[in-house]
A and B are shown apart, each in its own frame.
Chain A
Amino acid sequence: MERQLEKHLEETCRVPGISGALCADNNGLCLAARGCKPELAGHVASIAQQAAQLHPNSSTTPVICIESEGGSVLIKSENDVTMAIRGNSWVALKPLCMRRLSAIKRAMGYTTHLSNSLSSLF
């Protein structure tokens, strides 16, 4: 059932510079994980939900970038799916995160409609 979803995560992790990817639902439960511990799903979903509260009236959800010495994590949620991608550089991660989230949601049967205004964040 989750073969297509895992296939998308595998393809994501094959991109140079990407060390892991994780998908969580809105309950903080792990849908799929590659190169990341599934236990992180709760924290990823929580971060996305907390960040969304910064602009509650916004029509789009924010893209969250966490940079540390060990690398970067990009988190984005769309409808009921939150995705986190771990890698080296957030600049390279951002378009990949958007494309992968779109593909993953199609795989899960959701229709997506990514707003162009998201790219105005960067």
Chain B
Amino acid sequence: MQEAKNYLSKLSSTVEGLLAIVVTDRDGIPLIKVAMDHVPEQALRHSFLSTFGSATEQANKLGLKQTQSVISMFKNYQVVQINKYPLIVTFIAESSANTGLLLNLETDMGDLLSDLQRVVPAS
């Protein structure tokens, strides 16, 4: 697990403005978390992270099939959440960070996420 955290730490330094990477289950319970000191603490809580599940449930009813990602832009921060069922990958970054690069990090985390997907039971 420490190796995974070290890898995510290195990955987070590749995108300027990226503050935290959190891999959680559907309920928002973190499996791995790498965060800088000045990341807003409320954004790391399971009550915030689990909103992705409810949002995707509703979004799936739009008739556009499965939700792949949700990008939320706020005044000072942006939150990019990627659906890797049964996991949710959340990137918290400054609003000026490159959103395209954040989305591309999913590819770099591919192997790690495959291993974690096997571990977490799908409900």
Contacts and interface: CB of A to CB of B under 8 A. Distances in A.
Interface string B73-114: 000000000000000000000000011111110010000000
Contacts of B102: 42
B104 A27 contact: no
Interface residues of B, number: 8
Contacts of B104: 39, 42-43
Q: Is the interface of A mostly helix, strand, loop or mixed?
A: helix
Instruction: Please tell me the size bucket of the interface on A.
Output: 10 to 19
A27 B80 CA distance: 12
Interface string A7-47: 00000000000000000100111100000000101110110
A60 interface: no
Interface of A: 24, 27-30, 39, 41-43, 45-46, 49
29 contacts: A27-B98, A27-B99, A27-B100, A28-B98, A28-B99, A28-B100, A29-B99, A29-B100, A30-B100, A39-B100, A39-B103, A39-B104, A41-B100, A42-B98, A42-B99, A42-B100, A42-B101, A42-B102, A42-B103, A42-B104, A43-B100, A43-B101, A43-B104, A45-B98, A45-B100, A46-B98, A46-B100, A46-B101, A49-B98
